[in-house]
Amino acid sequence: MKSRRGRRKREDSKLDASGASSTIRLRRKGAPIVMLTAHSGELSRVIGFEAGANHYITKPFSPRDLERRVKSLLQRR
């Protein structure tokens, strides 16, 4: 049986491999970024923000909250 700590580390590395690299490419193009993910650990959030995310929303989420965050980002452009 794996420890919780080992499982979190593995999940965080998945985020780093998939979400963070895509975020960096989008950031270079000037696109606002909202990460919508099931990864709720602190390390995952830190990686997301360091990669350039403007917002980091974990599942389950409120569709109204997502809508407001996206509208807020678009108004800033």
Mean pLDDT of successive 10-residue segments in the chain (77 residues)?
49 54 75 88 89 91 94 89
The conformation of residue 60, written as its DSSP 8-state character, comes to S
Residue 71 pLDDT = 95
Residue 1 pLDDT = 43
Place of tokens 């997301």: 48
The range of the structural domain enclosing residue 11 comes to 4-76
Contact 65, 46 (CB under 8 A): no
Domain count, the chain: 1
b/e code 5-28 from CB counts within 10 Å (16+ = b) = eeebeebbeebbeebbeebeeeee
Residue 18 pLDDT = 60
> The domain spanning residue 56 has which CATH number?
3.40.50.2300
Residue 17 pLDDT = 54
